[in-house]
Structure 1
Amino acid sequence: MKPNTIISESARPIWQIPIAALFFTVATFILLFALYDIHLSEEGFTLFLHRLEPCIIFISIAIGFTLTKSIHIDIENSRFRPTYNIGPVKLGSWQTIKNYQYVSVFHQPTIGGDYIFEVNLWYDNNKHFELYEEDNYKEAFLIGFELSEQLNIDLLDATEPNNFKWVDKKEWKAKMASGKID
């Protein structure tokens, strides 16, 4: 069993990095201009705040091009840390979870009519920790399977509404060994 695991969204496409850099650069220049031309009066402060509005907009757009989510799992100490990564900056804190019950994989409809598959860790009877979202069933299921194996708990396949079933993990191991995962 691995003592530490990281479940992460896939990296942003390479073309988004220069776009984010451009928006961060423009926001920096707007902020520097606003600070350079600041006047210590009520009218000057109002002008400063109006100049910050586009800066905030550009920073928000840049963050949208760089934001990714990761879950750090410290199995040895029963801790989970969801982090939001904006470039090299990671924001998140550790949460302790005891009494693991099972891992579930289910699908959630999206606004466009497609489905997204979610992997959740259930604990303390009715609480859950959202671990992962993916539009690919196979990838989401493999993440759920691996985590259930590491924690030595059951895996619930809840991808069919009103037809939830517990996964026979021995059968899945055999499928994985033969390479016949559908």
Structure 2
Amino acid sequence: MEEKTENEISIFVGKRAWYELLLASVFFGAFIYMILLFVYFAFIEVSVKIAIRAFVVFLLCGTYCLVYGFKFSATKNMLVNLKTNTIISRYIVGPFSYDVKLKATEFEYVSFFEDRYGEFGTKLWYVKNRHYEMYSFEDKESAFQFSLNLSNKLNIDLLDATEKGNFKWVEKEKIQ
């Protein structure tokens, strides 16, 4: 196993709850069932009218099942490499993973904010006005703690943007 250096910050979400995985398996199972129904009506019992209906149902309901299957089973892990200023997001669904790499020149500050749905998010800002939205949380305290830890590890400033139009820089010395 590779030893982590102080130039890397790893953020792991953890595993999904058992009921989320159960729901994901139901949605993936329904998706596979719809594929089999379409294949049956299109190639085995050849009926153009029924095959077209099965295809339309597959497109509508199958897409729904596939998206919600991914929603309930996917996790997102992040790695921030300070040496190369790279943010790597790893999306994981079961044994499969997909990496998205973002190259930033210099990290400027971390902000936490409230979105229009009442959730709190964290953004990592770099190069003037560019940002990377990291995670969202249900409560303000979790978003604040995550943002504070990240800003401390990156040694950059922290911005409280939870009130629209009233942004405040957080003085980290007073908190610690």
User: What TM-score, normalized to structure 1?
Assistant: 0.74
**1:156 partner SS:** strand
Q: 1:171 aligns with which of 165, 170, 174?
A: 174
**2:17 partner SS:** coil
Q: 2:91 aligns with which of 72, 84, 94?
A: 84
Report % sequence identity.
27
Mark the CA change 1:161 to 1:10 in structure 2 (over 3 Å): closer, same or farther: farther
**Aligned residue-pair number:** 169
Query: Aligned residue for 1:52?
Result: 58
The residue identity in structure 2 corresponding to 1:4 is E
Mark the CA change 1:76 to 1:33 in structure 2 (over 3 Å): closer, same or farther: same
**1:82 partner SS:** strand
Provide the C-alpha distance between the structure 2 equivalents of 1:47 and 1:106, rounded to a whole number of angstroms: 45
Instruction: Tell me the alpha carbon deviations over residues 16-38 of structure 1, each in whole angstroms, 9 at most, x when there is no partner.
Output: 22222122123223323433554
- The runs of 5 or more residues in structure 1 that have no matched partner are 174-182
Q: Is the CA contact 1:2–1:150 (under 8 Å) kept in the aligned structure 2?
A: no
Alpha-carbon deviation of 1:120? 0.9
Instruction: Tell me the alpha carbon deviations over residues 64-86 of structure 1, each in whole angstroms, 9 at most, x when there is no partner.
Output: 32234343322232111234333
Q: 1:136 aligns with which of 125, 136, 139?
A: 139
Provide the C-alpha distance between the structure 2 equivalents of 1:65 and 1:84, rounded to a whole number of angstroms: 13
Instruction: Tell me the alpha carbon deviations over residues 58-111 of structure 1, each in whole angstroms, 9 at most, x when there is no partner.
Output: 32332232234343322232111234333333334211111211111122232x
User: What TM-score, normalized to structure 2?
Assistant: 0.77
Instruction: Tell me the alpha carbon deviations over residues 34-56 of structure 1, each in whole angstroms, 9 at most, x when there is no partner.
Output: 33554399949746634633433
**1:93 partner SS:** strand
Instruction: Tell me the alpha carbon deviations over residues 142-168 of structure 1, each in whole angstroms, 9 at most, x when there is no partner.
Output: 111111112211111222333322222
Mark the CA change 1:29 to 1:131 in structure 2 (over 3 Å): closer, same or farther: same
Query: Aligned residue for 1:95?
Result: 102
